[in-house]
Structure 1
Amino acid sequence: MDAVRISDRSLVAIKVVKSREQELQIAQFLSSLQHTSNHCVPVLDVLEDPLDTSQSLVVMQYLRPWNDPEFVMVGDVVDFVKQMLEGLAFLHNYRVAHRDIAPPNVMMDGRVLYPHGHHPVWRNRSPDAIEDLVPLARIDHPVKYFFVDFGLSVRFAPGQSPLVLGDVGRDADVPELSSTVPYDAFKADIYALGNFFDREFAQKYRGTEFLGTLIESMKQRQPALRPTATELVELYEKMRKTLNPADFRWRLAPRSEPTYERLFNDTVAVTKNSIDQLRRFVRPE
């Protein structure tokens, strides 16, 4: 549920969790770590459920789905992948495996896209739900993405084996998932995030071919062949430096788009982007 924080009138989200379950402890632990690479949903407060003392009310920063509004430029994807890899490396470096990486469990702080706010339910409308809103462009107003929902997560002690059991999580494509054969929870996270990138970007849009090598390494069938999250951050940073920044403003064209429609939409996008760029440099007297 959504609510408003009295101190500053900012939107917050409230989730009910079992007080003794690991989800609460992991979320609080991760939220307490101050680092630019921390992409775990911020926990603002924890309250006792007045109706059930076995439960807690977790007050978190209000976030919206990572793809609402939709991605429109190649640079949107470049930044998203960078943040998600950094966030996963941060998790793993603190010995936490998410174990349920999937589109519903990634969200963003989109406040910069709606500088005058928006309705918490009808997210593309004004706070009073009367006017339709047009979001600002992510490429000019960068957002921050977050992993959410640590209900299946595990925090390992230093030196503890990361082997787990359980055919769990939203991504059933992870090949090693098993309720009887132990598998490396960190390597399963790597596959799940790679599958995320593959399904949501590489398979859907033209212009995302630069992700091919990264995704291939993350989706190796043999878990031992997959790089660690830290290695992936380094690999992606090297690869990102080879990209032409001018291409970041190129439109994300759906692979399902007919050629004639793609040519028309590309022309419109180039024209609109040129006008937007001129507006940034030309100021009225």
Structure 2
Amino acid sequence: MPSSSSETRLDNASPLSEREILWRDRYNMLESHGYRLRQRYKPDWKPSWLTTKRSLVFHDDFKPHRSPVSIDAIRISDGRRVFLKQILKPSSELDIHSFLSDDNKLKDPRNHTVPLLDVFPDDSEPSYVYIVMPLLRPFDLPLFFSVDEVVEFVRQLLEASTNFLLPNFILKLNVRDCSDLNIMMDAEPMYPKGFHPKNTTTDTTGYRKAHPKRRRDVLSSVRYYFIDFGISTMFGPDETDKTVLGLEGQDNTVPELSERYPYDPFLVDIFIVGNLFDSALFKKYDNLAFLYPLIEEMTQPDPPHRCDAAGALNLFNEIISQESPRRLRWRLKAKSSGKLERFLIDVDSLSHEGVYLAKYTFTSTTKGILRLLRLR
């Protein structure tokens, strides 16, 4: 029989924090709207580890949650994992997100706004509503594997930047806030069996290691999204002054941010995205040197000399057109990797290249034979 001190230790392991108590108190309300939180937040929750000898890490309800305004949940109607976020109403964040998420705009493949699945009131706090989004992952988890995976990521972000010049409105997207924390990935094609929302390296159990597919194997299916419009601005078609003021945002290296002198928010977004390419890609991997001219144009300190969204996308397409397909299929080499690791990466890349060429040759030959047979 366990000692009383052992019982106390288990009883007190991973207790609900004050922030989590808020979610416990909202459990029934959220369930009435069709969304179920994890077992840990049920009002009558009893820690599952008290009745078993298994290690605490094997218990899903052992994992705490820190945010008081957002949380993962299950959509009861179909079992889909989603993400709930509490926001004030009315708010520009909700207006902009709703505007970009209507059915017609979401049909445009260039629209990289995270889909808005549902909006419902907070019955306990009338000044708030909940928005429902797909459960996403950080854009670089798991890490990029090959050059072509990075190319697709860059392409989608630049494509998104040009798409926010819409026919009826001109949207300033996430000015000062389109940084790495607000760019996420819909990794569902990579994780056909799902992943745990808290321990994202595991499957839905929370303790068995997940084995995702590589991006390159589902390349056209992986989508990257902008997720936060809290400090965004939308300009109407008749507004001639499309400048803003403010210092808010996560990237404090943007040179023109000011509370006194108006600046062009579109060019700020270009700088921030270029900075992201620099810090998360160019400075991290050796074989992405071809991105440097693009980054240099996007991060010019003097805004008038900085390229706009269309210019960045055109330059990117020109750069990629000059790269050999073989080079784009190569595995990434981290700058921190040693000589042996780089050698092994090259060997592995050569092996994959041989398999690719063999498949390509076989497919091309087969198609040629079939064409000849049809002609007969």
Q: What's the TM-score bracket when you normalise by the shorter of the two chains? A: over 0.9
SS at match of 1:139: helix
Q: Deviations for 1:142-165, whole angstroms, at most 9, x for unmatched residues?
A: 210001111111111114222111
Alignment equivalent of 2:214, drawn from 122, 137, 154: 137
Deviation at 1:269, TM superposition (A): 4.6
| Cα distance per residue 1:241-269 (max 9 Å; x no partner) | 22222222211111122333322333245
Identity value in percent: 36
Q: Tell me how far apart the structure 2 counterparts of residues 159 and 211 of structure 1 sit (CA, whole Å).
A: 37
**Cα distance in 1 for residues equivalent to 2:135 and 2:354:** 34
SS of 2:272's partner is helix
**Counterpart check, 1:66 vs 2:139:** yes
- Which has a greater percent of helix? 2
**Which shows bigger deviation, 263-272 or 29-38?**
263-272
User: 1:255: which partner in 2?
Assistant: 335
Secondary structure (helix, strand or coil) at the match of 2:218 reads coil
- Cα distance, 1:122–1:37 mapped onto 2, change above 3 Å: same
Structure 1 counterpart SS, 2:189:
helix
Question: Given the superposition, is the C-alpha separation of residues 53 and 167 from structure 1 closer, same or farther in structure 2, using an over 3 Å criterion?
Answer: same
Residue of 99, 115, 118 corresponding to 2:192 = 115
Aligned residue-pair number: 282
> Which residue matches 1:95?
170
Matches within 5 A, 1:132-281: 132-142=209-219, 143-160=222-239, 161-271=241-351
Task: State the partner residue of 1:5.
Answer: 75
DSSP 3-state at the match of 2:318: helix
Within-5 A mapping of 1:20-99: 20-32=90-102, 33-34=105-106, 35-93=108-166, 94-97=169-172, 98-99=174-175
Q: How far apart, CA to CA, are the structure 2 residues paired with 1:123 and 1:276?
A: 31
Could you tell me whether the CA contact under 8 Å between 2:286 and 2:332 is conserved in 1? yes
- The offset of 1:275, in angstroms, is 6.1
Q: Which moved more, 1:156-165 or 1:20-29?
A: 156-165
After TM superposition, give the deviation of residue 280 of structure 1 in Å.
Answer: 10
* CA RMSD, 1 decimal: 2.0
Whether the 8 Å contact between 2:244 and 2:264 is mirrored in structure 1 is yes
> 1:82/1:46 Cα in 2 relative to 1: closer, same or farther (>3 Å)?
same
SS at match of 2:209: coil
**What is the CA distance between 1:70 and its match in structure 2?**
0.6
Task: Name the SS for the 2:327 alignment partner.
Answer: helix
Unaligned runs of 5+ in 2: 1-70, 363-376
3-state secondary structure, aligned to 1:182: strand
Larger Rg: 2
Structure 1 segments unaligned to the other structure (5+ residues): none
Amino acid corresponding to residue 159 of structure 2 in structure 1: E
Superposition deviation, residue 9 in structure 1: 1.4
Q: Give the TM-score taking structure 2 as reference length.
A: 0.71
Give the aligned residue type for 1:27: H
User: Is the 2:117–2:132 Cα contact (8 Å) retained in structure 1?
Assistant: yes
Alpha-carbon distance in structure 1 between the residues aligned to 2:126 and 2:283: 46
- Distance in 2 (alpha carbons) for counterparts of 1:201 and 1:236: 15
Mapped to 1, the partners of 2:135 and 2:144 lie a distance apart of 20
- Structure 1 residue 43, shift from structure 2 partner: 0.4
Give me the whole-angstrom Cα distance separating, in 1, the residues matched to 2:140 and 2:297: 24
After superposition, the Cα gap between the structure-2 partners of 1:131 and 1:281, relative to the gap in structure 1 and judged at 3 Å, is farther
1:279 Cα deviation from its structure 2 partner: 9.1
- Residue 221 (structure 1) shift: 1.3
**Does the 8 Å contact 1:92/1:229 carry over to 2?**
no
1:82–1:220 distance in 2 versus 1, CA, 3 Å: same
Mapped partners of 1:274, 1:110: distance in 2: 28
Residues 87-128 of structure 1, C-alpha deviations (whole Å, 9 max, x = no match): 111124441121111111000110111112222222222222
Q: For 2:323 and 2:284, how far apart are their aligned partners in 1?
A: 20
Aligned to 1:15: 85
* Counterpart Cα distance in 1 of 2:357 and 2:139: 25
Which of residues 176, 182, 185 is equivalent to 1:105? 182
Give 2:233's aligned amino acid.
V
1:77 and 1:197 map into 2 onto residues whose CA distance is 10
Moved more, 26-35 or 257-266: 257-266
**Which contiguous aligned blocks of 4+ residues in structure 1 show a shift greater than 4 angstroms?**
272-282
Q: What is the deviation of 1:51?
A: 1.2
Higher relative contact order (CA 8 A, sep 6+): 1
